[in-house]
Amino acid sequence: MTQKFPFNHFLKLDGLSEGPAAKKVDVNPVIVEQAIKAMNVSAEPKAPASEFSGDELRTLTDALLDNIKNLINPNKFHAYFANAFTVSAIKHETVEIMVTTSFIKKMVETHYPDTIKQALFEILGKNYGIDIQVLGAPTQSLSSNAENILNSLKSPMPSKKPESVKNTTFFIDELEPTKDDLFKAIDSQVIEHQTNNNSNQIDINKTFNNFIIGPSNNIAHALSLAVAKDPGKAYPALYIYGNSGLGKTHLIHAIANHIQMHKPSMRICITSANRFMNEMVDSIIKKNQSYEFKKKYTEQTDILIIDDIHELKNKTTTQEMFFHIFNELIERGKQLVFTSDKTPKEIDGIEDRIRTRLSSALPVEIQQPDLETRIAILKKKAVEKDVYLSDDVVNLVAKCVKSNIRELEGCLIKLGAVTSILKVDIDLEVAKEHLKLNEELENQKNVTIETITKTVANYYKIPLGDIRGKAKTKEVALPRQVAMYLVSKMLKPTLKDNGQYFSGRDHSTVLHAIKTISDRIKTDGLLAQQVLDIEKQL
């Protein structure tokens, strides 16, 4: 063997084998030795075996980990190196490295090749290439014998060690197959969050205070608050509708929490259409207590809130009961609130008399939140859940997850779990990897000042030239302001560039337009809706 680097030098370094980088675990040194030897047996007859012995490779691994530990963030070191990384061979000018999962291989290859090469240079005094493989994955140079031994290393060590190896310790904890378990733990935290549904009781965590308001939900929020402040009076029946995960359930719990706090004597009944049906079936069929059931909802309820009312479809007996309860509560001046993912017209399988009752309620839609609202929601939830996310990670997630706030929350839960379980900081790469986000795809939607202004012009049915031109009539003034507002919001150009496109208007005109529209959409529901519709088309 030709010694091509000062191995003797680094073998003499003090404390290498005691480096804090790796946790000590008990392993069978005979198996380890066999594994390392086997890894060096090439399936290709011409490929040379490692130029170094198992002991030397182990010492090199320790030295490398010690060195890398000083070069990178401790959390990242813990996640990608401390329990996951070993030098398996050195052939010619290349150091072969084994890691425990393909995710780690990808992260190390993407982010740390230079760090590893620098550390190798510092230890070995010369430049080496690196070749990273996943432990247990078939590689060209591993013989089947080596794979068998690696597999035996990956399975848990027998709890009883042979007498001869007691008290022997090596730094081989990268062989513990724990990463999969960790990822499963992360997934299960997300699933637990998604399926946690307590809507038969008032959820004290869903209040008006932590409901973020934006153009997509400001009217629903305002009407819900009005109902909560003056139940049974302002709007005796409110019907909140919109797609899944946009905050309907949050709002009904906010109403209930507000009433409970400010009018504690009022009796609130919050349920879902399915629970209402199950309770009814239970009380009528099993307990023969139809009267008690009806009494509970008519005489003992001041506020009846039913989530997912569309679930009444095709349930004739439940619809019948609901019809009577609805009428009686309205007659008594009580408050009713419903949510649904459909308008009353769109619900199939309900009787006309139910449809007309539901249609008599004040309808209000919650729409898909815009980017700013999504960012605000993420930031608020991150603080609530004590997960630190940098602004660029928040922006990335909000940009990629558009249609559902529950999904946005799911991302946050996942990132929180990644931080606490894998002990890594969340940066853009980690977020993209774990959430499988593709920012490039989002960016491919080529929104330009031209496309925004054309979309506004089409929406208001006026020629593009008029919006960009000098005319100051009422018909074009508002669309032009909307266009300037959207250009500023979506593209963030300078005020000068923004005005330039609109016949060279100056920065104060653009500033005035942006302020006018952003102020007005907070109070003018119609305009808020128009702006939202245009944004959706872009």
Ligand X SMILES: Nc1ncnc2c1ncn2[C@@H]1O[C@H](COP(=O)(O)OP(=O)(O)OP(=O)(O)O)[C@@H](O)[C@H]1O
Residues that bind ligand X (CB under 6 A): 206, 210-212, 217, 244-250, 341, 377, 405-406, 409
Compute the least distance from the CB of residue 372 to ligand X, in Å: 12
Pick between residue 95 and residue 227 the one whose CB is nearest to ligand X. Answer: 227
Compute the least distance from the CB of residue 308 to ligand X, in Å: 6
Compute the least distance from the CB of residue 355 to ligand X, in Å: 20
For 244, half-sphere exposure in the C-beta direction (CA atoms, 13 angstrom radius) is: 4
d(CA 153, CA 28): 9
Compute the least distance from the CB of residue 417 to ligand X, in Å: 16
Q: Binding site annotation covers 247? A: yes
Question: Does residue 55 sit in helix, strand or coil?
Answer: helix
User: Phi and psi (nearest 5°) for 86?
Assistant: -145, 145
Pick between residue 211 and residue 326 the one whose CB is nearest to ligand X. Answer: 211
Pick between residue 253 and residue 480 the one whose CB is nearest to ligand X. Answer: 253
Pick between residue 193 and residue 520 the one whose CB is nearest to ligand X. Answer: 193
User: Phi and psi (nearest 5°) for 241?
Assistant: -130, 160
Pick between residue 76 and residue 310 the one whose CB is nearest to ligand X. Answer: 310
Which run of H or E residues covers position 85? Answer: strand 85-91
Compute the least distance from the CB of residue 172 to ligand X, in Å: 44
Strands ordered across the beta sheet of 94-99: 85-91, 94-99, 129-134
Q: Within 369-473, where are the H helices?
A: 371-384, 391-400, 405-417, 428-435, 439-443, 449-460, 464-468
Per the CB < 8 A criterion, the answer to whether 294 and 324 are in contact is: yes
Compute the least distance from the CB of residue 186 to ligand X, in Å: 19
Compute the least distance from the CB of residue 18 to ligand X, in Å: 48
Compute the radius of gyration of the chain from its Cα atoms. 32
Residue of 359, 301, 305 whose CA lies nearest to 334: 301
Per the CB < 8 A criterion, the answer to whether 120 and 128 are in contact is: yes
Per-residue tokens: 458: 């089409």
344-366: b or e for each residue (b if 16 or more CB lie within 10 Å)? beebeebeeebeebbeebebbbb
Residue of 531, 532, 538, 482 whose CA lies nearest to 510: 482
Pick between residue 244 and residue 448 the one whose CB is nearest to ligand X. Answer: 244
Tell me, rounded to whole angstroms, the distance of Cα 2 from its chain centroid.
Answer: 53
Query: HEC string of 292-342?
Result: HHHHHHHCCCCEEEEECHHHHCCCHHHHHHHHHHHHHHHHCCCEEEEEECC
Compute the Cα dihedral for 145, 151, 154, 157 and give only its sign: negative
Compute the least distance from the CB of residue 244 to ligand X, in Å: 3
Compute the Cα dihedral for 220, 223, 227, 232 and give only its sign: negative
Greatest Cα pair distance, the chain, in angstroms, is: 97
Pick between residue 402 and residue 406 the one whose CB is nearest to ligand X. Answer: 406
Alpha-carbon distances of 449 from 460, 464, 469, 485, 509, rounded to whole Å: 17, 12, 15, 11, 17
Pick between residue 11 and residue 191 the one whose CB is nearest to ligand X. Answer: 191
Question: Can you give the length of the chain in residues?
Answer: 538
Q: Binding site annotation covers 385? A: no
Per the CB < 8 A criterion, the answer to whether 238 and 337 are in contact is: yes
Q: Binding site annotation covers 402? A: no
* Residue of closest CB approach to ligand X: 247
Q: Binding site annotation covers 416? A: no
Per the CB < 8 A criterion, the answer to whether 341 and 249 are in contact is: no
Compute the Cα dihedral for 33, 39, 44, 48 and give only its sign: negative
Question: Does residue 472 sit in helix, strand or coil?
Answer: coil
Which run of H or E residues covers position 134? Answer: strand 129-134
Compute the least distance from the CB of residue 488 to ligand X, in Å: 23
d(CA 43, CA 46): 9
Residue list, annotated binding site: 245, 247-249
Residue list, annotated binding site for ATP: 245, 247-249
